[in-house]
Structure 1
Amino acid sequence: MPNSKKQQIKQSFLSTFSEQYAALMPIVNSPMFAEKLADMFKLLIPTNNVMIISNPSKNLPILEYNDLPPENRASIANQYVNGTFLLDPFYLAARKQGKNGFFHLIDIAPDGFEDSEYYKTYFKHSGLSDECGYIIQLADHGEKFIIISLGQIAVSETFTDKHLKCMKDISPLIESLAKQHWLSGEHENETQFDVRQQLETALECFGKSMLTEREIQMVQMILHGYSSKAIAERFNISLETVKLHRKNAYAKLDLSSQGELFNLFINSLINNEHYEGGDPLISYFGLSVVV
């Protein structure tokens, strides 16, 4: 592309961004802010799905804005908030790694993400073909953060390097704007029961009453979207050993596929409204003792 054409595109992007940013400033702290912020992103790059998710320090994620397809918006949103978020690469990057800034999905997702049941059940069910977005830390160590997800729905194209670079370049300004909105006037009850930690503990303990330590490790890695090769490399074991552990874990849980494993995990979380620790499968299967 000729330099003059590139310069025109850059000037157009900056002009649009400047106008939209200026329009957003007066409505910080207003109920319209999240929607108008989403509208700005749709003008800047070819995204037809924006999700803005606030993650309080102790509560479940809050969908501040989403424009998923109307026909499955409610079911996808409910599934995400009630437990699927624990497997979201953006959530894990923010919560477990403390990442902050702009990221493309392929840079933070496990190598086997497209074969994971999270990808097949949630990501593809949402209609997404690509995703990028911002992680904005509102407190240290992944305690409180905002995720702004920019996706493409029902298209085969992915975001171009030009799109990604432009969005990364404005990351400091997006972070500043988001912090002004989500930090000001916030009064979170610090004695509130830690629902988020409760679900994270349930994931960590999933299967402990029925599986060996190594089988639990395999199940955890599979749920998070790691390939058999990546699992083998992580634990310095052979692919055949990984397959054997997976086969044994599936047999003990009476499962035959990764899809059934994913559904068992989600259903065990939903079933445990009053989870107090330990393996959520004990309550789900009605076990009276740990086996």
Structure 2
Amino acid sequence: MSSPLQEFSQNLAAILPELHSERLPALLLSMLNSLVPFDNAVILSYTKGEPPQVHYNDIPPLERETQIDAFITGPFVLDPFYRAAVDRGETGLHRLCDLAPEGFEKSEYYRCYFKYTDIKDEVGYIIHLSDDKFLNISLSRLSLSQRFNQPQIAVLKDINAVIETLCKKHWDSQPTTKPDSPLPMQLDSALKHFGTAYLTERESQVVHLFLHGHSTKSIAERLGISPETVKLHRKNSYAKLDVSSQAELFYLFIDSLASLTNYSGGDPLVGYL
């Protein structure tokens, strides 16, 4: 019976000749699965100003439309892994529960998208290929009783340097293929300016933090104001945007993005409302 180190070495030896081939993503994830088992895996690359590109996806075809296909049409800009990479330049292995803001499970991103993935625990590598491009390797478990434990997370962290080097060798030299998408090519800019043409600066801050999944308490602490003031700003914002709930706010954001074809900056609601 081979040792874990021997099995890792054999898997790595099989991967190296496949650099720049279409087989590498599947072989890479097979190696990871032999070290730390998981149920689902997705590899996505993000290039500044472009929609995400899917390099590997083992989610069953019948479920892809409500999961990954829906994810890359806009909600990805609210994903905690994406925001960690873009906003804070995070790299290496991370766990979703460590990146997600307080109130994540009550956010509309969670209610309208994430809960339908059935993911109970998720870890992922963030690998920056250049200043404008990074990779996210997502490993998920679907059972509450089989969450990733600390020794397993330690194993994945220990091989981070190997994973990062393999990915940079494989993906850094590949040309970016721009997928056909009706969404604006500057989604981060659209998110940043969402509602700013209609709301005060403070109201915009509150709305953005709610969209990112923060709770009333978390927003109050971040902005240095009382929870009651947060609620007041939310109430005024909803009235100005003609929405009555966080769900309607989330769908207004997604619909405003989907309606734009030649976005060049500013509030995506201009011309939509």
Answer whether TM exceeds 0.5 for this pair: yes
Q: Which runs of 5+ in 2 are unaligned?
A: 178-182
Alignment correspondent of 2:180: none
- CA RMSD across the alignment: 2.1
Q: What is the CA–CA distance in structure 2 between the aligned matches of 1:79 and 1:12, rounded to whole Å?
A: 41
Alignment correspondent of 1:25: 16
Q: Counterpart amino acid of 1:28?
A: L
Alignment correspondent of 2:208: 220
Alignment correspondent of 2:97: 106
Residues 154 and 257 (structure 1), Cα distance of their counterparts in 2 relative to 1, 3 Å cut:
farther
Q: CA deviation at 1:127?
A: 1.4
Q: Which runs of 5+ in 1 are unaligned?
A: 1-7, 190-194, 286-291
2:251 matches 1:263 = yes
2:232 matches 1:241 = no
Structure 1, residues 249-270: CA drift from partner, whole Å, max 9, x if none?
1122222221221111111101
Q: CA deviation at 1:49?
A: 0.8
- Alignment equivalent of 2:88, drawn from 67, 82, 97: 97
Q: What is the CA–CA distance in structure 1 between the aligned matches of 2:66 and 2:172, rounded to whole Å?
A: 29
Alignment correspondent of 2:133: 144
Alignment correspondent of 1:158: 147
Equivalences for residues 116-131 of structure 1 within 5 A: 116-131=107-122
Structure 1, residues 231-289: CA drift from partner, whole Å, max 9, x if none?
1011111111111111111122222221221111111101112222222112222xxxx
Alignment correspondent of 1:51: 42
The alignment-based identity, stated in percent, is 48
Q: What is the CA–CA distance in structure 1 between the aligned matches of 2:230 and 2:48, rounded to whole Å?
A: 36
Q: CA deviation at 1:77?
A: 2.1
Alignment correspondent of 1:34: 25
Contact 2:49 2:187 in 1 (8 A): no
Q: Counterpart amino acid of 2:109?
A: Y
- TM, length-normalised to structure 2: 0.91
Contact 2:51 2:185 in 1 (8 A): no
Q: CA deviation at 1:188?
A: 5.4
Q: CA deviation at 1:146?
A: 0.6
Contact 2:184 2:263 in 1 (8 A): no
Q: CA deviation at 1:197?
A: 6.3
How many residues of Structure 1 are paired with residues of Structure 2 in the alignment? Answer: 268
Q: CA deviation at 1:153?
A: 2.2
